[in-house]
Amino acid sequence: MNLRFLFFLLVILISACSTKPSRLELALQKAGKNRTELEKVINKYSEDPIDSLKRRSVIFLIENMDGYFSYEGKSMSDYKNYFKCLRHSNQTPETILDSISNLYGFFDLNKSKKLYDLETVDSTFLVENIELAFTAWKNFPWSKNYSFGEFCEYILPYRVENESLSDWRKLLYNEYYPMVKSLKSKDPIEVAMILRDSAISRNGVPRFTMTRPANYPSLDVLTSRSLAGTCDDLAQFSMALFRTFGIVCSKDFIPLQGAENFGHSWVFLKNHKQEFFHTDFFDPIIYITETVGNRTIMKTKVYRRKFSKNWEDIEMLKNELDFIPSEFQEGGLRFEDVTPLYSNNLTDLNMTNKDLYEKISFSQSKIAFLCAPAWLDWKPIAWTKIDEDGNASFKNIDAGSLLRVAQMDGETLKFISAPFFIHKQNRSKIFFNGIGEKENISLYSKFNLDRDRWAQDRIIGGIIEAANNRTFEKADTLYIFKKRPFRLSTEVICNSSPNKYKYIRYKGAPGTHCNIAEIAFFSNDKRLSGKVIGQPGSWNNNESFNYTAAMDGSTLTAYDFNQPDGGWVGLELSEKSEITKVQLTPRNYDNYIKPDNDYELFVDSPHGWKSFGRKKARADSLVFQNVPYNALLYLKNHTYGRDERVFYIENGIQVFK
């Protein structure tokens, strides 16, 4: 045996010993006792060459299965009833959830058992899923133009998030096949529209609500058939339905919306021409263009959920970081960037040393995170590798939302830039560093009031009328509201002198349902009292929306007349009086400053939020003095309420970002 042969043999032995296990082998090792079940499926599709694609598909599933799991337990089963009740009850989601909580106790995810797919999925389940998925892909004419890669990512998967597993393919196939069996169309969108319309005719118009049991996982497909819940809950059913019939689809999502503290998701679909469509809240399926398709939502990033892991990204983050933020940990790093498809203000963000507090520290890592605000916190929504010159470049950003850059310092984020946003037109970076002058500020809300605009606008055209007969014949008009109110309590002067009146009312403008939360009448600063009168009738015959709600002393209740026109509410006074002032509160989402509530103002700093002071409101506004100019601010209500959002002051006005 010569030396060259010995050397060659030694190289082979060393290479064999140092070769890393394949992704498949690593997954099978993690499966433990369940390895046998998974290998059964691999072996089943290894016997006949005709099954080569099915063998590749099961390997794809197993390689990417690690990190998927579901929950099992009594609490999980009990609280499915909440979503079913949403469909069949006219009560508010909050009332339904309270009833479920009184019956079963509060939902506690910690009492549920976590079931990892690798350790629990059996061969029968996987084989049935693969067979039904292939049948749909190969047999339906509208599915044949999809590639094998698209099939694996967007038709084959048996789950989307951490929902409980079920035999949804078989059930939905049997239920909806009669609607499509005779179709010869090659357009999957046409088929999806038929399926969508059929689902709504069976289950009713979707009922959307953000009210949900705290920490309840993703909704399982069979429960999601009720078409009630959050955007994620509604997407769960529509994805399952479309995939059952071989239509490529998945969930596109915004991790955090600008000016909001939460994200949003919807379902994308792809047709035979490689064009993209979407359905939001299971609404009609429409083509994604520059004017629709969630383009107008404030956002920085849009991602598309995949079944497979982002293997290269995972490897890079593991090599660079000792601790990876939960948003980018291996189990959840399964998405691709589709921001350009939904962006009206697409740009790249380049952060150089002059944009940062200090030069980037490579001793921590070479990874920088782009963060967005959520309540009193910042969440990573994108990451990049820092170049050798210390610059951080983030590709495909939708400009306009509030951001800041951070690095990991152990297990916490260390901010390396002040908050900023990218100007939509000139693409400059506008920073909020809070350095220099001080200013006195007046605050009227703790959250963006854009959602209240419709109710505020319904005040415009409203009339204050006074008369001396209950029918308001020949009534005098004392005031017409011509502007949108901007605060909780708007006072207007309407001096009726020298006339005195027995009857006084607020009459809603045409088309407004007389929506109003509170109305009060004054004579020389004395609040007038008397018998509450008004036009009976309330939306959906809900008595809590009757005219008396506008004079019950609560700004959380409102008059909502059951007709667009003709609603009014007022007082029959005990004696004739002059009317000198009216105080009005529009219908609202309870985000105005409220008297007697306890508030705390926070100011941003390089190290996070710092308290600037705490005070109780004496009216519907708060004044803080000597606040840092050009600072990012946050107002917390310690009394109650959850909606709060970062803001800054521009020309004396709160701007929520």
Write the pLDDT tens digit of every residue in 87-133: 888 888 999 999 999 999 999 999 999 999 999 999 999 999 999 99
CB-based contact 496:600 (threshold 8 Å): no
Q: Which residue from 486, 497, 495 is spatially nearest to 521, judged by alpha carbons?
A: 495
pLDDT digits 0-9 by tens, 560-573: 999 999 999 999 99
Question: What mean pLDDT comes out for the span 588-616?
Answer: 96
What are the start and end residues of each CATH 2.60.40 domain in the chain? 311-431, 439-448+592-656
What residues have CB less than 8 Å from 134, skipping those under 6 apart? Answer: 53, 54, 57
- Return mean pLDDT, the chain: 93
- Supply 331's token pair: 């189990």
Whole-model pTM?
A: 0.90
Q: Of the given ranges (88-92, 135-139, 171-175, 377-381), which has the lowest mean pLDDT?
A: 88-92
**Overall CATH class of domain 311-431:** mainly beta
Q: How confident is the model at residue 351 (pLDDT cuts 50, 70, 90)?
A: very high
Strand locations in 386-480 (E): 392-398, 402-409, 412-415, 420-422, 429-431, 438-443, 463-467, 476-480
Q: Give me the mean pLDDT over the 127-145 stretch.
A: 96
Q: Note the pLDDT tens digit of each residue in 511-543.
A: 999 999 999 999 998 999 999 999 999 988 888
Q: What are the pLDDT digits (tens) for 195-219?
A: 999 999 998 899 999 999 999 999 9
Q: How confident is the model at residue 2 (pLDDT cuts 50, 70, 90)?
A: low
Average pLDDT over residues 235-254: 97
Please give the CATH number for the structural domain made up of 439-448+592-656: 2.60.40
